[in-house]
Every structure is written in structure tokens, then in C-alpha cells.
Amino acid sequence: MPINPLQGAQFVLAAHRIQQLPADEGAEVAFAGRSNAGKSSALNALTGHKGLARTSKTPGRTQQMVAFSLPTVLRGETSQAVETRLIDLPGYGYAKVPEALREHWRHEIDRYLHERRSLRGVVLIVDIRHPLKEFDRMMLDFCVRTLLPCHVLMTKADKLTRNQASQALTVFRKEIGADVPVTAQVFSVPDGTGVEDARAAVMRLLESDERSAM
């Protein structure tokens, strides 16, 4: 069995504001998605840690930016050690929270995506059974406009036949076009579909070049 490069992830902190996150250095990948798309389950599967991200039958439990440290230490061009992290962004669009809190997270997520220099890319979680939602399109559009790499996990593929899942992936790729910095794959936690590929994709993002100032 291949070694899991994301194994050993540990909770660091939960931040209500961007300035409360760990120092903006090293390399990190953010996980984003609607509250009912399976983001926490995907994080747990990728890290091999069932209790890392909180999962619940009630979507929308992640209401802060949660930082997880990774044991993987990369080496930059100067051969200096580069610490790596995963950032779990608040689930969006489903949680029953006050409008003021929704507006707060819209503002903080926007700031995070624009200002965070250590951010190397986004893993966007979407439910393969449904069309893209407004938030999904906004996130994809942002990544395209800012040339921020994005990898899409089309979750809950176990709810479809293999042929249906493959067709959904083909439709998605045609919809976003070929000339964008977005990759996508079929993914399922219960049957393990795409887990190894997704881990490799996260590592590619962490190893990508430092983003330029916008």
C-alpha cells in the first residue's frame, strides 16, 4: 500500500478571522465546498484520520477556518524547509446561521483567498449528483481569474453507477473548458474511489510555485 503523504495531520487552531491563522509562511492548501458536499469526510479520508475534521449528520458544523499541520516538509529552491498545512474553510450555503455570520464568512473567505501568500491552491468539494451551485461557480471563477490552481473532488460517486459518474465528470470538464487551471476527479469516501489520486493532487498543489502578489 502506498505511503500516505498526508498521514499525521494534526489540528492546530480554529480561526474566526484571517489574522488568527498560523503565520503566513510555508505552503498550504484550502478545502472549500458547500456544507452538505462531504468536505469533512474527504479531509478525514485523505489524511487517514477519521476524527480529524468534524463530521455530522447536520451539515454546516465547520463555522471557522480550521488549520491542520502536516508532517510533510518540502524543500524550496533555497533548500530551506517549508512547513505545510491544510486549511478547512467554513462550509457555505446550507448551514442555518444568522445572516450577519454568513456575511462575516463571505468577507473573511474573500480576504483569505486574495491575501494569503502561502496559499498554493484550492480543493473544491462538489456533490457529483447535482449541478454546480452558485458558490461552486464563484470559487472556480476566482481561481481562473487569479490563476490559483484548483482541484475538484466530485464526491459521493458511490451513489451513482460507474458509467454515470464518468459521464458527470465528462460534463463538468466540458463545462469549465480546457484552458483553465482546474483539474477534477471522481471521489468517494465509502468505497475509496480516487483517494490516492486526490492525495497526489494535494501534494502537487503544495509543491507548486509561490503565488505572485495580486
pLDDT at 78 over 90: no
3 state DSSP class of 97: coil
Domains, the chain? 10-206 (3.40.50.300)
212 falls in which pLDDT band (50, 70, 90)? low
End-to-end CA distance of the chain: 41
Q: How far is C-alpha 181 from the geometric centre of its chain's CA atoms?
A: 15
Confidence category of residue 59, pLDDT binned at 50, 70, 90:
very low
φ, ψ of residue 50 to 5 degrees: the values are -60, -25
pLDDT of residue 80: 75
pTM as predicted: 0.91
Asked whether the CA dihedral 113, 10, 185, 161 is positive or negative, the reply is negative
For 144, other C-beta atoms within 10 Å of its C-beta total 16
Question: How would you list the strands of the sheet with 182-186, edge to edge?
Answer: 10-15, 65-75, 81-88, 27-33, 119-127, 150-155, 182-186
CA angle 76, 89, 203 (to 5 degrees): 30
Q: Which three cell numbers mark 100?
A: 450577519
Between 103 and 179, whose confidence is greater? 103
Q: Quickly state the pLDDT bin for 27 (edges 50, 70, 90).
A: very high
Q: What is the pLDDT of residue 96?
A: 62
C-alpha cell, 77:
529552491
pLDDT tens column, 92-101: 764 566 778 7
What pLDDT score was predicted for residue 175? 87
CB contact at 8 A, 66 and 53: yes
| pLDDT for res 73 | 77
Residue-wise pLDDT for 128-182, tens only, equals: 999 998 889 999 999 988 889 999 999 999 999 999 999 999 999 998 887 777 9
Max Cα–Cα distance, the chain, nearest Å: 48
CA 162 to centroid of chain Cα atoms: 24
